[in-house]
Structures are given as C-alpha cells and as structure tokens.
Amino acid sequence: MDLKQTQVNDTFRSLHFCIFGAGSMAEAIVRGMTEQQLTAPDRIAVINRSNAERLHELQDRYGVTIELTAEAKQKRLAAADIIVLAIKPKDAAAALHDLKPLLRADTLLVSVVAGLSIGTMQHIIGSAPIVRTMPNTSSNIGLGATALCCSQEVTAGQKIAAMTMLNAMGIVTEVEEPYLNIVTGLSGSGPAYVYYLMEAMIQAGMEGGLSQEQSHDLTVQTVLGAAEMVRRTGEEPATLRRKVTSPGGTTQAALEVLEQYQFANAMKTAIHRAEARAQEMGEQIGRNME
Ligand SMILES: NC(=O)C1=CN([C@@H]2O[C@H](COP(=O)(O)OP(=O)(O)OC[C@H]3O[C@@H](n4cnc5c(N)ncnc54)[C@H](O)[C@@H]3O)[C@@H](O)[C@H]2O)C=CC1
Ligand SMILES: O=C(O)[C@@H]1CCC=N1
C-alpha cells in the first residue's frame, strides 16, 4: 500500500457516518464498510423511522451504533461527516426537510434514492455538497455496480471518501447526472432482469424433466460462468455468443425463437421504461415538496 492510500484510509477512518434508513441498501453499505474494515463499526450510526428490531439486527450483525430516540438521532445526524440517504423515494422529501437544520456546511450527503435529483435535494436543503449514486443489490456480496455524480460543492476529499465507501461494495463509475436514470434502468434494476431470465430457465429445465435442484444448479452455474467468461476473456458478449452457436445447431434454433419474440427489443424497451420511470419518480418527489 502506498503512502497516498494510507492517507486516504486514515482520513476515512476519522470520519463519522450516519446511515439514514435501515433497509437492504443501507445494509449493503454497512456490510461493505465493515467487511473491508474501512472504519471502526461504531463510527457508523444507523437510524430509521420506527423499526427498532431491524436496527438491533444490524447492530448484532455488524457492530454498528444505533439510535432510537428522536433526540439521539438528531445528535448523530448533526455530528456526521457523511450522511447516507437510503430511504424509499416517497419518504425522501419529508426526510430532507427533517435533515435541513442538522446539516453543517461540510456535511456530505450521499443519496442512493432512485430518481431523486441533486436539484430537488438542494431545493430543500440548500447548496450542500451532495453525491447522488445508483448502486444495485449485488452490493450485498461486494459485486455491486454503482454510478455516482457529484454536486459542484463536493470537495476532492469528499469525493474520495464517497468513492472509498462505495468501492467497498463493488465497482464504481462517475457519470454526468442526466445519465443516472439510464444507469438505474441498466444496472440498478438489472439484477431483477437476470433473476427473471433465470426463473424462466429453471422452469424450462423442469418442464424438460429435470428436478428443481438440478435445473436450479445448472442455471446458476450457466449464468455465473457466462458472466465470468465475459469478464476473464475480455471478449464481447456477441463474440462469445457466436462461439456457442454452431451453424444449424441447437443454440441457433433457440436464438431464432428469441428473435421471433423480439427478445433484444423487449430488453431494451424494458431498460428504457425503467429509465423513464426513474425520471417520473424524481418529478413526483419534486411535486411532493411543493
Ligand atoms: N433495492 C434496490 O435494488 C435499490 C434501491 N435503491 C434505492 O435505495 C433506496 C432504499 O431502498 P431499499 O433499501 O430497498 O428500501 P427499504 O424499504 O428496504 O428501506 C428503507 C428504509 O428507510 C426507512 N425510513 C423511511 N423513512 C424514514 C425516515 N423518515 N427516517 C428514517 N428512516 C426512514 C425505513 O424504515 C426502512 O428501514 C430507495 O430509494 C431505492 O430507490 C437504489 C439502488 C438499488
Ligand atoms: O425498483 C426500484 O425502484 C429500485 C431502484 C433500482 C432498483 N430498485
């Protein structure tokens, strides 16, 4: 490890975090940070609206600090260097109003809320430093794919801190804010498309006479192996697909059916619909705050 990385790590370890919301994305972030030992778990406070049982679960699992009373939650938020907004879009406007009086000039807000724009957040809380992100649930096992964008108030140090936190959950890439909605459609919602595909593959295997377990295991390994082949060989999916497809063989016959059902069209239309939905959700939050 070079000196620069040591300095980054030391600075990161000195920060106080408050995760606002205790759902699946919150847990993915906490897990990444604690498993990678980026910071002492008790420097991460987790709060939510009401479910104390869930907070105790996270405390038992990861050793994080939890706060249950309104006063203690406010104190934690006011003391945090980085607040991660990990609540549902419909709760975001109210939460930002609650947060506003607790933010210092140098508090960094990191949002994972789908559709919620930096402009909408700043309309409520003022010109604060904000990192808007779109992770996905594979972050839970360190294989997440996250995109982020920064408001102009974000300092170089704050950006490094946000990157360090998100890198603990997988890969991170920076995009201009308008592209976060397509990221949401592609990689944010993406795991669900793959699971849907897998559900159909498992079903087909069972229809062909395999046991549920056999069909499940063969499907999982097929998807895992295909993704790993793309990653390890560096070859394009289209090239690898052609290598599976013998002229006049089984794969060609199957792909012709997929084409007949306009599979590629369906997938692209679905991703763009999710992209548009992210935009709609953002506009809805904007309307809710008026
Ligand atoms: N699940 C996914 O695949 C992804 C989700 N996201 C985004 O992450 C955000 C969170 O999603 P999940 O973790 O799946 O949701 P979730 O429903 O699992 O968790 C939301 C949490 O927020 C808490 N909460 C709600 N209002 C609150 C308030 N005013 N104060 C404190 N806590 C409050 C709830 O108690 C709950 O613990 C959403 O905005 C979603 O758009 C982003 C990328 C992927
Ligand atoms: O379905 C949703 O709205 C969230 C955003 C990306 C994945 N899940």
Q: What is the ipTM of this complex?
A: 0.92
Q: What is the pLDDT of residue 1?
A: 46
Calculate the average pLDDT of the chain.
Answer: 95
pLDDT above 90 covers what percent of the chain? Answer: 90
The string of pLDDT tens digits covering residues 235-254 is 999 999 999 999 999 999 99
Q: What is the best residue among 184, 194, 275 to mutate for testing ligand 2's pocket, by most ligand atoms within 8 Å of CB?
A: 184
Q: What is the pLDDT averaged over residues 199-223?
A: 98
pLDDT tier for residue 80 given thresholds of 50, 70 and 90: very high
Whether residue 118 has its Cβ less than 6 Å from ligand 2 = no
Q: Secondary structure of the chain: what % helix, strand, coil (to 5)?
A: 65, 10, 25
Whether residue 114 has its Cβ less than 6 Å from ligand 2 = yes
What CA–CA distance (Å, rounded) separates 62 from 114?
26
In the chain the domains, ranked by start, together with CATH numbers, are 3-177 (3.40.50.720), 190-278 (1.10.3730.10)
Query: Is a pLDDT exceeding 60 seen at residue 3?
Result: no
User: How much distance in Å is there from the Cα of 131 to the middle of ligand 1?
Assistant: 17
User: How much distance in Å is there from the Cα of 134 to the middle of ligand 2?
Assistant: 9
The residue whose CA is least distant from atom 19 of ligand 1 is 23
pLDDT tier for residue 285 given thresholds of 50, 70 and 90: confident
Query: Is a pLDDT exceeding 80 seen at residue 178?
Result: yes
User: How much distance in Å is there from the Cα of 87 to the middle of ligand 1?
Assistant: 3
Q: What is the pLDDT of residue 6?
A: 79
The pairs formed by 148-157 with CB atoms below 8 angstroms and a separation of 24 or more are 148/172, 148/173, 148/174, 148/175, 149/118, 149/174, 149/175, 149/176, 149/177, 149/179, 149/180, 150/174, 151/118, 151/122, 151/127, 153/127, 153/128, 153/129, 154/108, 154/129, 154/130, 155/129, 157/11
> In ligand 2, which atom is closest to the CA atom of 277?
3
The answer to whether 107 and 130 have CB atoms below 8 angstroms apart is no
The string of pLDDT tens digits covering residues 84-138 is 999 999 999 999 999 999 999 999 999 999 989 999 999 999 999 999 999 999 9
Query: Is a pLDDT exceeding 50 seen at residue 216?
Result: yes
Bridge partners of 130, per DSSP, are 109
Query: Is a pLDDT exceeding 90 seen at residue 287?
Result: no
The answer to whether 46 and 58 have CB atoms below 8 angstroms apart is yes
Query: Is a pLDDT exceeding 80 seen at residue 4?
Result: no
pLDDT tier for residue 261 given thresholds of 50, 70 and 90: very high
Q: What is the pLDDT of residue 284?
A: 85
Bridge partners of 104, per DSSP, are none
Query: Is a pLDDT exceeding 60 seen at residue 82?
Result: yes
Q: What is the pLDDT averaged over residues 46-72?
A: 95
Whether residue 182 has its Cβ less than 6 Å from ligand 2 = no
Instruction: Name the amino acid, one letter, at 145.
Output: A
Whether residue 188 has its Cβ less than 6 Å from ligand 2 = yes
The string of pLDDT tens digits covering residues 125-170 is 999 999 999 999 999 999 999 999 999 999 999 999 999 999 999 9
For residue 147, the SS3 value is strand
Query: Is a pLDDT exceeding 60 seen at residue 2?
Result: no
pLDDT tier for residue 290 given thresholds of 50, 70 and 90: low
